[in-house]
């Protein structure tokens, strides 16, 4: 059964939010939704770029109090 997982990468300079997502998405099951929390505004651009390039589904993002919530669905 698909799950929804939160990856809290706030304050992560290294490995950083995108690398955190790349690592955790490998552990997820196909169909799982992952919500990446990032305090780096660059994540709002580089995460969707990578997700689309690899072929997962980008579900959208929103910013709340300086934290970007980026939603991704593992599709493969």
Partner 1 sequence: MKILIIGGGMGGTILANNLARRLTPELRSGKVKITMLTASEKHMYQPGLLYLAFGRVTPDELYKDQASLLEPGITLVVDPVEEFMLDDNRVKTKSGKTFDYDVLAIATGSRPVPELIPGLAEHSHTFYTEETALKMFHALRAFEGGRVVIAMGVPHKCPMAPLEITFMLHDYFKDRGMSDKVQLHYTYPIGRVHSLENVAKWAAPEFDRLGITYETLFNLKEVDGAAKVIRGEEGGETPYDLLISIPAHRGMEVIEKNKLGAGGWIPTNRQQLNMEGRSNVFILGDTTNIPISKAGSTAHFQADTLGENIAALYKLGAPVRDYDGKVFCFIEAGKDRATYAMFDYLNPPDPKPPTKAVHWFKMAYNKLYWISARGLL
Catalytic site positions: 14
Give the per-residue contact string, 33-52, with partner 1 (x = CB under 8 A; - = no). Answer: -------------x--xx--
Spatial contact of 35 and 71, defined as CB atoms under 8 Å apart: yes
Interaction of residue 22 with partner 1, rule CB under 8 A? yes
User: Does 15 interact with partner 1 (rule: CB under 8 A)?
Assistant: yes
What are the angstrom distances between the C-alpha of 66 and each of 7, 19, 25, 54?
16, 20, 24, 27
- Cβ atoms of 56 and 75 within 8 Å: the answer is yes
Residue ranges that bind partner 1, judged by CB under 8 A: 7-20, 22-24, 26-27, 46, 49-50, 53-54
């Amino acid at each position: 059964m698909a799950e929804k997982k939160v990856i809290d990468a706030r304050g992560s300079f290294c490995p950083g939010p995108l690398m955190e997502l790349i690592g955790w998405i490998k552990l997820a099951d196909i169909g799982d939704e992952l919500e990446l929390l990032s305090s780096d505004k660059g994540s709002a651009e580089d995460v969707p770029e990578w997700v689309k390039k690899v072929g997962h589904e980008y579900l959208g993002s929103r910013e709340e109090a300086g934290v970007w919530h980026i939603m991704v669905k593992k599709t493969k």
